[in-house]
Chains A and B, each alone.
Chain A
């Protein structure tokens, strides 16, 4: 009986392996068909589009959808056939779709999203008789069957900025951006430049929410801008519907881009930069029909009519503003105005980065902050320039050490050990790879080695500010802290928090509990409950186990202060403020140094002063004005050095 089972097991296993091999071989690309004469298509010209968001997003994807539909109406349904895959935000799904369309013999396959680049670079060579188009970009990878297209969205951004600055009474403008990359970055840079040209004293606050689709966060960002005094807003990408809604509620003006967003909020949308991709598609299609499958890049601009400024007749725009807009428009078209005072980024040169982290990348804390930082740089520089690999959940130090060594062996230029517990391992590994740059955090110790960078977060600074607000908002005079292990980053935060609280109220009671683990969520929740039972009405804590503490805080209506990442989404009713780490501030310096030839020997820090640490408030929880001003003063003072948060011994 037993033997039969064992044999059965082997047979099943062998069958599975054989089946896998079979399916692998049947996935080989189909044999070439005799190439069609492209000049005389037998049937309609077939266009396929793969796009990252829905066709009704009133933004990026809709603009392309409208354009291909317009082409179809213009040339006739029997001349043009369209297939459209929307919502392809997962790049692997998009890559599969692109490959499928090419296999099915579409004439033009459009990868409408800069994130699809690396996939397209692999797919296009397999289909030499298919024409591909990729946007928004100028890069055709040197392949002769890829067209590139982009929108010079900084042009319309500039015009929008000019009008916005003219129409703002408060002199404060707010921008809700997705991720600081590509099309979005161009638009925002142009907008800022245009606003400043119209009014040099204008204040333009830019918020990159880190997502193209997080509508809730976009609405929060808009609310934050309004709270900070903005009376005109703009933004780009499909998440702006959230921002537009908030703008409408508050009677604040909106400037749109990519599509005409007037219908969303007819009373407050002043003007829109509308994309007309037909200006790019028409010459592309004609070119393909004439036999050229790619190798050229196109752009939509104000001058060629691919970009148009459409005003909303329901919103009154002053004569001055209109005149200024016309001047800006004419200047850009004529070439006398350059909307971008472009700054080349010294860190955007080819590099391969690897990072080893102790917890998951979605821990809303330590590891997530580093992952987000690296992803942001990748979006800015492009993933063909900035490549990064990561190993998460490496809480066992030996596993992490193996991973660090492997990455160095595989030739990564910069290997980041994101965890102070990795120090002794790194000290052994780094000397074996003198040509590899290592970075270790959070610490200041480079072991005196010239290929090790150190980085840290002065988390006591934001801890201090959190402490100030916490003490100001506690009624019971008892505050609870749920800490992991009394070391490194965690210790800095807690010490700073205690000092900040005591600076506001010397008699305040701050109880600190070190639960002895970075990951024991159950114990963290018990610690939080204990604090509450002991009278605390405000809590804070650090490390990824705080989700347990936040849950308990929310149940009992107790306020929470977060650190490392913005934890508002976990408990929107009780999270007051968060010290958010922006590791790009440190990463850009390290990478810039690397490209300049230094592999290590220096330490960097995130501070309130250099923008690496930011206090992000939850607009859903009210902070009394006097407390808020104490906090703002503290941020100011720490930032310019007049207060140093004294850590003592």
Chain B
């Protein structure tokens, strides 16, 4: 029974499935990382994902071109991000509450538009898996890493890119400064408002793509509440990852791999109660967080609106 888990095809299955499941968390989480590093908490990620998922799905359905769908999802997500930026930076609203407001808006409008404009559940022809030449032929590794759709590759590539931007570029420096000590940054000529606008809009754009990665790549379908909480978990994973891209990657992979593991456990008939198996990803993530010990501080100005002069 348990030994079945260690068969090669099973391990490959778990790893491959984990990579797929991690993709939306990565997109949404990276966007949120930038946003939070600059000091803005965006709880509306789930709403942005839903709107992106629907927009991408609808455009791909109508134009039969998933790239147009992806572009629309990104655009729509960015617009919602822009709105969140306006609300957080200019109107200086309570970020937690306004984020929830955006979530509810995104949930409602995606449902409404879906019912009015599509009506019944339909499938769309989205991004198909693309085998990377040569690399996908490698034993084990080929199947696990190099036979995914374009958005999976992009999500994983974005992790080192994000790390690089955040830690090795001026833009990243500004973002971090604005999140740690906005007044100091402001006095040195960095526009706090503009930086936050950029990160939050970017976050929205990535959340929109996260939604599209579900509706026009992984699942090729749209349904009400398709994302089912992924956005909120992504926000939690940002905390888990210590506001660092590679930390986020670790969290997303831990969560997703344990999820695929529990699916296999059930499929192989290993006698673990299904309720317990389903709990495993969440419980394990909390346990690892508690044991990891590393106290990484949140950006000091997180959730604090900036007002020049104090």
Residues of chain B within 8 A of A522, CB atoms compared: 21, 24, 214, 218-219, 228, 230
Contact of B119 with A362 in the complex, beta carbons under 8 Å: yes
Q: Which residue of A lies closest to B308 (CB)?
A: A1
Residues from chain B with a CB closer than 8 A to the CB of A519 are: 225, 228
Q: Which of B10-30 contact A (CB under 8 A)?
A: 10, 13, 17, 20-21, 24
Contacts of B259 in A (CB 8 A): 523, 526
Contacting residues of chain B (101-143) with chain A, CB-CB under 8 angstroms: 111, 115, 119-123
Q: Does B263 contact A (CB under 8 A)?
A: yes
Interface flags for A385-410 (1: CB within 8 Å of B; 0: not) read: 00000000101000000000000000
Task: Please name all residues of chain B whose beta carbon is closer than 8 Å to the beta carbon of A517 when the two chains form the complex.
Answer: 228, 278
* Total contacting residues, chain A, CB less than 8 A: 42
Q: Tell which of A480, A520, A531, A534 touches B228, judged by Cβ atoms closer than 8 Å.
A: A520
Task: Knowing A521-B221, A530-B260, say if A512 contacts B121 (CB, 8 Å).
Answer: no
Instruction: Note all chain B residues with C-beta closer than 8 A to A362.
Output: 115, 119-121
Partner-contacting stretch, out of B32-40, B167-175, B268-276: B268-276
Q: Binary interface profile of B, 255-267, with partner A (CB < 8 Å = 1, else 0)?
A: 0000110011011
Are the CB atoms of A534 and B267 closer together than 8 Å? yes
Residues on A with beta carbons closer than 8 Å to the beta carbon of B218: 522, 525
Whether a CB of chain B sits under 8 angstroms from the CB of A336 is no
Question: Could you tell me if B228 and A521 are in contact, using CB atoms closer than 8 angstroms?
Answer: yes
* A359 B224 Cβ-Cβ under 8 A: yes
B300 contacts partner chain A, Cβ-Cβ < 8 Å: no
With both chains docked as a complex, state the minimum distance between the C-beta of A195 and any C-beta of chain B, in angstroms. 34
Chain B CB within 8 A of A594 CB:
no
- B221 lies within 8 A of A548 (CB): yes
> Complex Cα distance A402/B269, Å?
40
Q: Choose one: B121, B224, B263; the contact of A527 (CB below 8 Å).
A: B263
CA distance A547 to B121 in the complex (A): 8
Q: Contact at B268–A551, with CB atoms within 8 Å?
A: no
Contact with B along A596-617 (1 / 0, CB 8 A): 0000000000000000000000
Q: In the complex the two chains form, is B220's CB within 8 Å of A551's CB? A: yes
Using Cβ atoms and an 8 Å threshold, which residues of chain B touch A548?
219, 221
Provide the residues of chain A in CB contact with B24, threshold 8 Å.
Answer: 522
Tell me if A486 counts as interface (CB < 8 A to partner B). Answer: yes
Distance of A531 Cα from B269 Cα, bound (Å): 11
Question: Would B17 and A530 count as touching, CB distance under 8 A?
Answer: yes
Interface size on B, residues (CB 8 A): 42
Contact assessment for A530 and B263 in the assembled complex, using a CB-CB cutoff below 8 Å:
yes
0/1 interface trace, chain A 336-370, chain B, CB 8 Å (1 if under): 00000000000000000000000110111000000
Do B121 and A363 touch (CB < 8 A)? yes
Q: In whole angstroms, how far apart are the Cα atoms of A395 and B259 in the complex?
A: 23
Query: A5 vs B21: C-alpha distance in the bound complex, in angstroms?
Result: 42
A526: which B residues are within 8 A, CB to CB?
A: 17, 20-21, 259-260, 263
A571→B264 CA distance, assembly (Å): 25
- Residue interface mask A548-574, B partner, CB < 8 A = 1: 100100100000000000000111000
Q: Which residues of B contact A9 (CB under 8 A)?
A: 91
Tell me if A311 counts as interface (CB < 8 A to partner B): no
- Shortest CB–CB separation between residue B271 and chain A, in angstroms? 12
B228 touches A551 (CB 8 A): no
Query: In the complex where A513-B267, A514-B266, A522-B214 touch, is A533 in contact with B13 (Cβ < 8 A)?
Result: yes
Interface residues as binary, A1-36 with B (CB distance below 8 Å gives 1, 0 otherwise) = 010011001000000000000000000000000000
Contact A516 B275 (CB under 8 A): yes
B17/A480 in contact, CB under 8 A:
no
Chain A residues in 8 Å Cβ range of B90:
2, 5
Question: Is the Cβ of A551 less than 8 Å from the Cβ of B267?
Answer: no
Indicate if B181 sits at the interface (CB-CB under 8 A).
Answer: no
> Is B96 on the interface with A (CB-CB < 8 A)?
no
Separation of A533 and B260 alpha carbons in the complex (Å)? 12
A521:B223 contact, CB within 8 angstroms: yes
A548 to B263 alpha-carbon distance, docked (Å): 14
Does any Cβ of A come within 8 Å of B226's Cβ? yes
Q: Which of B213-245 contact A (CB under 8 A)?
A: 214, 218-221, 223-226, 228, 230
Query: B267–A530 contact, CB under 8 A?
Result: yes
User: Quick check: is B92 within 8 A (CB to CB) of the other chain?
Assistant: yes
Interchain nearest-CB distance for B231 vs A (Å): 12
A363 touches B228 (CB 8 A): no
Residue-wise interface mask of A (441-459) relative to B, using a CB-CB cutoff of 8 A (1 in contact, 0 not): 0000000000000000000
Q: In the complex, are the beta carbons of B269 and A511 less than 8 A apart?
A: yes
Bits for B190-223, please: 1 = Cβ < 8 Å to A, else 0.
Answer: 0000000000000000000000001000111101
B123 lies within 8 A of A530 (CB): no
**Would A521 and B275 be within 8 Å (CB), given that A533-B13, A570-B123 are in contact?**
no
Closest to A362 in B: B120
Contact partner of B223 among A480, A514, A547, A571, CB < 8 A?
A: A547
Q: Which residues of A have CB within 8 Å of B279?
A: 516
B160 within 8 Å of A (CB atoms): no
Inter-subunit contact B278/A516 (CB<8 Å): yes
A521 touching B219, Cβ below 8 Å: yes
Distance of A363 Cα from B122 Cα, bound (Å): 11
Q: Which of B13, B20, B121 makes the CB contact (< 8 A) with A364? A: B121
Q: How far is the CA of A514 from the CA of B278 in the complex (A)?
A: 8
Residue B307, interface by CB 8 Å = yes
CB distance from A372 to the nearest CB of B (A): 12
Contact B267 A480 (CB under 8 A): yes
- Find A393's partner among B225, B269, B275 (CB 8 Å cutoff): B225
Bound state CA distance, A551 and B225, in angstroms?
17
Residues on B with C-beta less than 8 A from A515 are: 263, 278
Cβ A551 vs Cβ B123 within 8 A: yes
Provide the residues of chain B in CB contact with A529, threshold 8 Å: 13, 17
> How far does the alpha carbon of A284 sit from the alpha carbon of B24 in the complex, in Å?
64
Residues of A near B21 (CB, < 8 A) are 522-523, 526
User: Is A360 a contact of B223 with CB atoms below 8 Å?
Assistant: yes
Distance between Cα atoms of A95 and B270 in the complex (Å): 60
Q: Which residues of A contact B264 (CB under 8 A)?
A: 530, 534
What residues on B are CB-neighbors of A393 within 8 Å? 111, 224-225
How many angstroms from the CA of A261 to the CA of B24 in the assembled complex?
A: 53
A544 located at the interface, meaning its Cβ lies under 8 Å from any Cβ of chain B in the complex? yes
Q: Residues 117-145 of chain A: 1 if any B CB is under 8 Å from the residue's CB, otherwise 0? A: 00000000000000000000000000000
Q: Is the CB of A530 within 8 A of B228?
A: no
Contact between B274 and A486, CB atoms less than 8 A apart: yes
Contact A511 B267 (CB under 8 A): yes
Query: When chains A and B are docked, how far (Å) is the Cα of A520 from the Cα of B122?
Result: 17
Chain A nearest Cβ from B2, distance in angstroms:
15
Compute how far the CA of A360 lies from the CA of B114 in the bound complex, rounded to whole angstroms.
Answer: 11
Question: Inside 8 A of B20's CB, which chain A residues have their CB?
Answer: 526
Q: How far is the CB of A364 from chain B (nearest CB, A)?
A: 5
Determine how close the nearest CB of chain B comes to the CB of A311; give it in whole angstroms: 39
Interface string of A502-513 (1 = CB under 8 A from B): 000000000111
CB distance from B26 to the nearest CB of A (A): 14
Provide the residues of chain A in CB contact with B266, threshold 8 Å.
511-514, 527
Q: How far is the CA of A531 from the CA of B279 in the complex (A)?
A: 20
Q: How far is the CB of A482 from the nearest CB of chain B, in Å?
A: 10
Closest A residue to B225 by beta carbon equals A519
Tell me the bound Cα distance from A520 to B230 in angstroms. Answer: 10
Q: Are A6 and B223 in contact (CB under 8 A)?
A: no
Q: A533-B13, A551-B220 are in contact. List 18 more A-B contacts (CB 8 A).
A: A5-B91, A362-B120, A485-B275, A514-B275, A515-B278, A516-B275, A516-B277, A522-B21, A522-B24, A522-B214, A523-B21, A523-B259, A526-B263, A527-B267, A529-B13, A534-B267, A551-B219, A551-B221
Residue pairs across A and B with Cβ atoms less than 8 A apart, 26 shown, are: A5-B90, A5-B91, A6-B91, A362-B119, A362-B120, A362-B121, A364-B120, A364-B121, A480-B267, A485-B275, A511-B267, A511-B269, A512-B266, A514-B278, A519-B228, A521-B221, A521-B223, A522-B21, A522-B230, A526-B263, A530-B260, A531-B267, A534-B10, A534-B267, A548-B219, A548-B221
Q: Which residues of A contact B (CB under 8 A)?
A: 2, 5-6, 9, 359-360, 362-364, 393, 395, 480, 485-486, 511-517, 519-523, 525-527, 529-531, 533-534, 544, 547-548, 551, 554, 569-571
Closest A-B pairs by Cβ, 3 of them: A516-B278, A514-B274, A533-B13
